[in-house]
Amino acid sequence: MVDDVSSYIDDIVSMIGEDAEVEREELEKEFRRFLEYGVPPDQAKRTLVKKFSNGKKVEFRKLSEVKPNESNVNLLCRVVTVNPKEVKVRGEPRKIFYGLLGDETGVVPFTSWSSSISLEKGDVVEISNAYTKEWQGVVQVNFGERTSVKKVEDDRLPEVSHEPKPCKIADLHTAFGEVDVTVKILDVSEKEVDVNGEKKKVYVGTLGDETGKAQFTAWHDFKLKKGDVVRVVGGYTRFWKGIPQLTFDDRANVEKVSKEVEVSSKPVPLHKLVERRGGLDVSVEGTVIEVREGSGFIERCPECKRLIQNGECKVHGKVKGVGDLRAKLVVDDGTAGIGVIVGRELTEQLIGKTFEECKRIASEEGGEAVLRLLRERLLTKRVALRGNALGDEFGTTLIARDAKVVDLDVRKEALELLQKMEGES
């Protein structure tokens, strides 16, 4: 039973206001009755607050405390940005709005599904009956048909300073608007591009911090050099198949800092990689749970490198195929699974057989024999992989640049784990 009923009652009283027309004793009686029925105390509290506040006094929430999957959310906040968007809902075209809401505690994205709501950038609004969802690890506020939005006086809230958000590379996918990162430049080169007929110099390369790596494009010469550690304030992120790309121009503030930044090559748990959809030059580890059909000795079209079947290319017709060796794996660490594509040289190393040997096996025993060999050598093995990971609607696929089988001393690890557990109990 809850022993601190009175502290809950205190909370309720302070929320509905001292002048509410209800006695403390009555509140306590109703509260205890809910508890007897097994209603969690927090829920009982909310129910009573709702019942006795009579809609007179609405409790506004701070954006930083709002969690996903809440309903009946009331907010007092400022519209930071708002954009219209045409979507199809059950085949019907519909105009929705999306953007950012802010208060002094933070900024969150919102989507308005209701056609009757009008919002202007900069408005301070009272929102009642909104609901929240989660999208890619971030809370999102939604307005539905039952949500009402009321514009109120501007001075109800201080101006939301929409400052660039301090961010790690691994969190870029959850950032909105401008970001503030401290990174090491891993490589950079100058490129000339054509912008509306005008030649412009851009600086492209890769950068990273202790959580990951990203590509970047600078539209201004910040004299970046490989090995520099810089703080970039006011860059924007975009993603290509889950690979983060940071873009910044002369409006950004870029300064060299003397801090040392260690760029990580630590393996990322697969569920994190899959949540981010992809990543630039990531390291992962997992168990090979499947070696897919299409692995082993294959033949490609000499013209377009496409896989050919029965000596025929889909585009170029009958051709003399060029042999190749590859592995298409499913690697899973128990938290998520990804596809992995391993090219010829790495496959040779992984299975300890050369391309020529595989070619001979294929011609003597058939292609199936090479696939069997790959399965024999790789299935159930733990592998360490490195490469670019690309995400699409079918999941995440890593194009291996490094791949090796991890040697495990099972007995030693088991013993260590056992000793650790015995130490704890």
The residues binding other proteins (CB under 8 A) are 40, 42, 67-69, 134, 137, 139, 269, 271, 274-275, 287, 289-290, 330, 332, 334-339, 375, 379-382, 393-396, 408, 410-411, 413-415, 417-418, 421, 425
What CA–CA distance (Å, rounded) separates 317 from 301?
Answer: 9
Looking at beta carbons only, is 137 or 294 nearer to other proteins? Answer: 137
- Provide, rounded to whole angstroms, the least separation between the CB of residue 420 and other proteins: 9
- Provide, rounded to whole angstroms, the least separation between the CB of residue 361 and other proteins: 19
What CA–CA distance (Å, rounded) separates 41 from 27?
Answer: 13
Looking at beta carbons only, is 313 or 374 nearer to other proteins? Answer: 374
- Provide, rounded to whole angstroms, the least separation between the CB of residue 136 and other proteins: 10
* Sequence-distant (≥ 6) Cβ neighbours of residue 184 within 8 angstroms: 207, 208, 209, 227, 228, 229, 261, 263
- Provide, rounded to whole angstroms, the least separation between the CB of residue 189 and other proteins: 35
Q: What phi-psi label fits residue 317: left (phi over 0), alpha (psi between -120 and 50 degrees) or beta?
A: left
Looking at beta carbons only, is 320 or 420 nearer to other proteins? Answer: 420
- Provide, rounded to whole angstroms, the least separation between the CB of residue 21 and other proteins: 30
Looking at beta carbons only, is 15 or 117 nearer to other proteins? Answer: 15
Q: Which residues of 63-95 are buried (b: 16+ CB within 10 A; e: fewer)?
A: beebeeeeeebebbbbbbbbeeeeeeeeeeeee
Looking at beta carbons only, is 110 or 203 nearer to other proteins? Answer: 110
Residues in the chain, total: 425
Looking at beta carbons only, is 37 or 189 nearer to other proteins? Answer: 37
- Provide, rounded to whole angstroms, the least separation between the CB of residue 32 and other proteins: 19
143: part of which helix (H) or strand (E)? strand 138-143
* Sequence-distant (≥ 6) Cβ neighbours of residue 136 within 8 angstroms: 173, 174, 275
Residue type, position 350, single letter: L
